Structure formats: C-alpha cells, structure tokens
C-alpha cells in the first residue's frame, strides 16, 4: 500500500498540498473570526457542528507546523534551527505589532494622541513580540462588539512552547525516536485530565503555569504539534488511504454533531480528535491540490494570520452598521490579502533570502576547505539526503556551487565532474 512518505518521495520530498493547506487554514480562521467580530449568534463555540471549525483548524495548523519543521530539525544544528525559526517569526510579527500600536491605535483611539502614547497600555502592547499577551490598546475599538485588537496572537506563546519542545527533542536525540514523541503526547493528555480534576489549583503560580500548559485551550495545540512530528517520523509506515481519510473526517463530523466543545474537556477532545485531524493534515499535504488564486506568488499564510483580526476590527469600526459576518468578510479579506502580500514581499521573503545566502556562503566555505562530501550533506524537509558538491560545466565559472535547492545524484557524469574533495 502506498504511504504518505511514498507520495512525498514521488514529488522529490515536496508535499504539493501543504501550500494549499497553509493558505486554506489561514483564510478559514479569518472566516471563523468574522462571526466573532460581528458577534453573530448563528455560529460560535457553543453551536453544534460550528465549533469544530475553530477547534480543528488550529490543531491542523500546529500539526502542519510539526510535520514541516521536523525535517529541518533533523538536518540542522540547534542554533541554526532556532535562528531560522526566529527569522521566520519575529520580523513580521514585530512589524505587525508596531503598525497596530503606532498607526492603527492613534487612528482609532478615543483618547488624545498625548494620552494614548502616555498610557502604559500602549507600551505594554509591544510585549506581544515575546509572547506576553496584551490584546488591547488604550481607547481602541471600544465601540466594536469586541474591543480586542488582535486576538489571533493568543497562539504565539504556545508556538514558542512548541519550539522549546522541538529543541528538547533535538538536544536529547529523541527526535529520531517516535515512541518517545508518542509518550510525550500521552503525558500532555494525562496531565490535562489531572488538571481538569483540580489538582493544580493549590499550587499557586506553578499551578497557573500548569493550567496554561495542560488544561487550557493551548494544550490541544501541543498535541497537534507532536502528532505532526509523529506523522513525519512514521511517514513511510502511514498509509496514504482515501478510506482512512474519509474515516477521519467521519469521526470529526460525529464528534461535532454531539454538541458544543464546552460539553467535553479539552483533554477528552484531544484524545478523540487530535489523531484524525493530524491524519487529515498529512493526507491533504501529500495530495495534489490546486494552488489558490492570488496566493501562488508567495507564502502569504503568515501575513493572513497576523493581519486578519486587526483588519477585520478596522472594518467593523468603519462600517458599524454592517453586522452580517459574510459581508464583513467580503470587506476585510481583500485588504487582509494586500497586507499579507506586503508582509511576504517586503519583510518575510527578504529576511529569509538573507539567511539563505548566509547558509550558502557557509556551505561554499566548507566545500573550499575540503573534507568528505558525506559530512556536508544537506536534506530536504522530508529528510532525504542531498550531497553538497561542486560542479564545473562548459561556460560555468569554475568552482561555482550548483543549485543547492535541487536534488543531485551522488555520481556525476558527462561534462560535469566532482571537485569538492580535490579543492
């Protein structure tokens, strides 16, 4: 039977559906939030069937993240991995927070500019960059049904925790032992049940931290993240099966029909839904899915996540009479896409390009110093090895590094000759 890994290997390690899935989940969360900012009573966390969208999309997002970064975590040293993650997260996040505090806030606050900038809440909004959440700016969006500026940022500290988990797996070597990752999932869910029973309440500050990690809504994100890692590690054993995909979707539909999420504790839901959602994520990622219109020019998903809520809140403030969620979505989504394009092309892509050039220079220096090819191998995000070698072609500058983004055969023939060890 064909596996998830087989599907990925057939595309040289690239999951054709992951790009679609990233954007679809980001836009789906914007759609979900459109009902919240309008305070629409039709859909919400307490509505049968509807709550599964908000719950499921975030679990899938973190499962997607766990799957995709596992390859780089196996390939890179810890400091390189953390630098890459930091450059992917902080520059765009910092710009969005600065724009919200320094541009959006002054435009929509009910305070004078002097009062606004003197208010401690303005300065404290910048703590969002390091994961200390503050969803409000002084006097901003007070007339909206919801006065928060960007509640999407609640996942940021949990993302940091996920990177800490990945770092621990890398340091200990457990990243190559899927059984240990599965044990961590069981531990998180078990700790959630213990916390639900009230065991953490008497522990003061430590108890509040444990509640934050294991009992609150963030605990499902860790389970999704670890399941994404597990799916990656077992990708050559997990079947790529439409029947399993349909069964996973069916489980989610049945659970969604039972009732709103508040009927069950988060640990119980994680037991029931996390694995089906993780399989749905991996299956769709390995599937040939079409590129969404407009989104094929770059990875706009992070920008959609960052700017979705501030733009939606702005539209509610500008058009207070429009309370229909879909009309609000129609007003906000084009602007959100424009800001996500700005974020990708002006901030994210240039920063990542600088990092890539730095890594290529290091690879080039390593080749010039000589040594074995094996010691300088790189991998794609699926973990397949790519040897670093130098090649010379007719008309090519001697010693240039051949496109490191493509797979290369270990044996080079024809007019291309291997020179890495000879230099």
Q: What is the full DSSP assignment across 272-338?
A: HHHHHHHHHHHHHHTS--PPPTTGGGS--HHHHHHHHHHHHHHHHHH-TT---HHHHHHHHHHHHHH
Question: What is the predicted pLDDT for the residue at 399?
Answer: 33
Model pLDDT for residues 176-209, shown as the tens digit of each residue: 889 999 999 999 999 888 888 888 888 888 888 8
Buried b (16+ CB within 10 A) or exposed e, 106-128: bebbebeeeebbebeebeebbeb
Question: What is the predicted pLDDT for the residue at 411?
Answer: 43
Residue 90 near residue 251, CB atoms below 8 Å: no
The residue whose two tokens read 């759609």 is: 31
Own/partner pairs for 176-181, CB < 8 Å, 24+ apart? 176/74, 176/233, 178/230, 178/233, 178/234, 181/226, 181/229, 181/230, 181/233
Residue 343 near residue 88, CB atoms below 8 Å: no
Judge residue 323's burial from the number of C-beta atoms within 10 Å of its C-beta, 0-12 exposed, 13-18 middle, 19 or more buried.
middle
Q: In the numeric block, which tokens belong to residue 144?
A: 């909206």
Model pLDDT for residues 102-152, shown as the tens digit of each residue: 999 999 999 999 999 999 999 999 999 998 999 999 999 999 988 999 999
Cα 49 to Cα 40, 45, 96, 261, distances in angstroms: 15, 9, 33, 9
Question: What is the predicted pLDDT for the residue at 112?
Answer: 95
Q: CA 307, CA 318: separation in Å to the nearest integer?
A: 16
Cα 248 to Cα 215, 278, 317, distances in angstroms: 25, 9, 40
Question: What is the predicted pLDDT for the residue at 387?
Answer: 37
The residue whose two tokens read 């039709």 is: 42
- Alpha-carbon 169 to chain mean position: 18
Residues with Cβ < 8 Å from 41, sequence gap 6 or more? none
Q: CA 288, CA 299: separation in Å to the nearest integer?
A: 17
SS3 (DSSP) at 113: helix
Q: What is the pTM of this model?
A: 0.82
Question: What is the predicted pLDDT for the residue at 219?
Answer: 87
- All residue ranges of the chain with pLDDT < 70 are 40-48, 259-265, 358-423
Q: Can you spell out the DSSP letters for 199-212?
A: TTGGGHHHHHHHII
């Amino acid at each position: 039977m064909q596996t998830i890994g087989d599907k990925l290997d057939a595309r040289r390690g690239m999951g054709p559906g992951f790009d679609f899935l990233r954007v679809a989940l980001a836009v789906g969360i914007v759609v979900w939030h459109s009902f919240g900012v309008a305070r629409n009573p039709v859909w919400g966390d307490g509505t049968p069937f509807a709550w599964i969208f908000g719950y499921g999309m975030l679990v899938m997002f973190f499962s997607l993240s766990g799957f995709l970064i596992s390859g780089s975590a196996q390939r890179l040293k810890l400091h390189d991995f953390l630098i890459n993650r930091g450059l992917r997260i902080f520059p765009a996040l910092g710009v969005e927070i600065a724009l919200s505090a320094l541009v959006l806030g002054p435009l929509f606050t009910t305070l004078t500019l002097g009062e606004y900038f003197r208010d401690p809440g303005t300065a404290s909004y910048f703590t969002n960059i390091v994961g200390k959440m503050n969803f409000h700016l002084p006097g901003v969006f007070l007339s909206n049904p919801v006065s928060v500026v960007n509640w999407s940022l609640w996942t940021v500290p949990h993302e940091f925790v996920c990177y800490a988990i990945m770092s621990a797996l890398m340091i200990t070597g457990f990243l190559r032992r899927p059984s240990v990752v599965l044990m961590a999932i069981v531990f998180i869910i078990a700790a959630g049940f213990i916390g639900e029973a009230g065991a953490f309440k008497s522990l003061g500050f430590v108890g509040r931290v444990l509640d934050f990690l294991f009992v609150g809504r963030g605990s499902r994100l860790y389970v999704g993240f670890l399941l994404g890692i597990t799916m990656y590690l077992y990708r050559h054993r997990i079947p790529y099966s439409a029947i399993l995909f349909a069964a996973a979707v069916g489980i989610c539909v049945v659970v969604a029909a039972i009732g709103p999420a508040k009927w069950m504790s988060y640990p119980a839901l994680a037991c029931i839904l996390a694995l089906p959602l993780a399989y749905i994520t991996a299956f769709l990622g390995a599937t040939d899915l079409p590129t969404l219109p407009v989104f094929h020019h770059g990875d706009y998903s992070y920008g959609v996540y960052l700017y979705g809520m501030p733009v939606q809140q702005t539209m509610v403030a500008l058009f207070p009479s429009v309370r229909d969620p879909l009309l609000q979505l129609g007003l906000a989504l084009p602007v959100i896409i424009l800001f996500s394009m700005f974020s990708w092309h002006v901030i994210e892509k240039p920063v990542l390009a600088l990092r890539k050039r730095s890594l290529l220079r290091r690879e080039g220096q390593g080749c010039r110093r000589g040594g074995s090819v094996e010691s300088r191998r790189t991998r794609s995000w699926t973990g397949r090895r790519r040897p670093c070698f130098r090649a010379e072609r007719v008309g090519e500058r001697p010693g240039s590094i051949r496109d490191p983004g493509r797979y290369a055969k270990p044996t080079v023939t024809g007019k291309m000759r291997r020179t890495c060890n000879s230099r």
